[in-house]
Amino acid sequence: MKTVVLKFGGTSVGSIDRIKKVCKIIDIYKKKKYNVVVISSAMSGVTNDLVNKSKSISNNFDLAEYDALLSTGEQVSCALIAGRLNHIGLKSRSWLSWQLPIVTVGSHSGARINKINIKELNKYIKNGGVPVVTGFQGINKNYRITTIGRSGSDATAIMLAKYIKADECIIFTDVEGVYTTDPRQHKKAKKIKKIFYDEMLEMASLGSKVMQPTSIQDAKLNKIDIKVQSSFVSKSGTLITNSKKSFSDQIITGISSTKNDAKITIVGVKDSPGVAASIFKPLSKNLINVDMVVQNISQNGKNTDLTFTIKSEDLKKTEKLLKENKSILYKKLSFDRNVSKVSIIGVGMITTPGITYRMFQALASKKINILVISTSEIKISVLVSAKHVKKAIASLHKEFKLD
Ligand code: ADP
Ligand code: ASP
Ligand code: MG
């Protein structure tokens, strides 16, 4: 008998009606004689609401309690799913992460799954039951509840598929699969049939929220193929894989963009060894993630300008740290909180020259100014003013024949 892991995201279980529909999907797999393991996210909006509640209690809410709080959303959805499956005649029960357990390592709110004990799950499945497991959460070695980063139920599904040696892992969501760019932002976005792990990892890390980046790392490390499809309509979705069979010959596979980026420029900073390190040391100590960095070539050999990007929510803290940093001298600090990173991603660019030129030309033809550039083997990112993001995506989508 084949085993399938079915993961349902927040919108897919966003109402009682949606939960009933999801149970029908589960029933179809049971009727096809699959062993089924279900993972669910919290009902849509619930986790955000819990985050807001923690913020209104304290702006320095204890992280262990934050995890205990945020993990409650999944308990509700999983119990409702199991209850409905019982109602329609299937044997089912919910499993909270600590009841298996799902063991995590790393810090609260950003932990990572290290091990899953599947003994009880296996017994239950063998007896025809459908376990419904809470996504997004685990416990650490001190028996405290942890969470594994926002959108973490994707990673729970992939790690469970690994441990129970599932034949298939299907991520059910509110769009039909992975698209060339966010279909809610650009109407001409096209569904991708197959995408390599590396491309999906870049897209996810660069802002395509359809899959959580960590989950794709887990899938790649453990060679778990993932299907992404809709829980709303029954249509074929996207396969995320490493298998080279029947890939299209597109050079660029997808376009991603970020929200809530901020740019900081330190004008007239001394151009000497160690200065960049002294700028970034306090930021790293305070867990502020620095993304793109550029340093201008010094005109006089003495002073230069350094620009970097961070998440807008870290802007206030970063400004304070820079102003308090006595080990750097500069003329001026300038900030821009209305910037976004737009990226083109595709393994095809490794073997195709001229992609950078085509990207810059397409943006120039729409009079979009590029603020910062960064590249890797399979992606080119540019920082642009947030007001230009939609236009930039449309022009790149057309230029690389994704329309
Ligand atoms: P779930 O609650 O099912 O986990 P998410 O909201 O996390 O769903 O992810 C699905 C959303 O991701 C879609 O509604 C879509 O707007 C967004 N998205 C962003 N980029 C892409 C893309 N390239 N392809 C598909 N969806 C994308
Ligand atoms: N409910 C969690 C979140 O909103 C986890 C998930 O949706 O996967 O981030
Ligand atoms: Mg998600």
Over residues 198-213, the pLDDT tens digits come to: 999 999 999 999 999 9
**Rounded CA separation 78/99 (Å):** 13
Over residues 234-283, the pLDDT tens digits come to: 999 999 999 887 677 889 999 999 998 999 999 999 888 888 899 999 99
Here the tokens at position 322 are: 């820079």
Over residues 281-324, the pLDDT tens digits come to: 999 999 899 999 998 877 777 889 999 999 999 999 999 999 99
Here the tokens at position 352 are: 């195709």
Interval between CA 87 and ligand 2 midpoint (Å): 26
**Rounded CA separation 258/265 (Å):** 19
Phi and psi at 355, nearest 5°, equal -70, -40
User: What is the model's pLDDT at position 246?
Assistant: 67
DSSP state of 150: T
Interval between CA 245 and ligand 2 midpoint (Å): 32
Q: Judging by beta carbons within 10 Å of its beta carbon (0-12, 13-18, 19+), is residue 12 exposed, middle or buried?
A: buried
- The pTM of this model reads 0.95
**Rounded CA separation 268/400 (Å):** 39
**Rounded CA separation 311/200 (Å):** 22
Here the tokens at position 219 are: 């899938």
Interval between CA 5 and ligand 3 midpoint (Å): 16
The residues lining ligand 1, judged by C-beta closer than 6 Å to any ligand atom, are 9-12, 41, 151, 173-175, 178-179, 181-184, 208-210, 254
Domains and CATH numbers, the chain: 3-174 (3.40.1160.10), 257-399 (3.30.2130.10)
Over residues 168-199, the pLDDT tens digits come to: 999 999 999 999 999 999 999 999 999 999 99
Helix axes 46-57, 63-70, angle to 10 degrees: 150
What is the overall mean pLDDT for the chain?
96
Question: At CA 305, angle to CA 302 and CA 311, rounded to 5?
Answer: 150
Bridge partners for 241 per DSSP: 196
User: What is the model's pLDDT at position 343?
Assistant: 98
Residue nearest to atom 6 of ligand 2 (CA): 151
Q: Name the 3-class secondary structure at 3.
A: strand
Interval between CA 182 and ligand 2 midpoint (Å): 19
Here the tokens at position 375 are: 């590249």
What's the farthest any 2 CA atoms get from each other in the chain?
Answer: 78
**Rounded CA separation 31/170 (Å):** 17
Question: Which atom of ligand 2 is nearest to 153's Cα?
Answer: 8
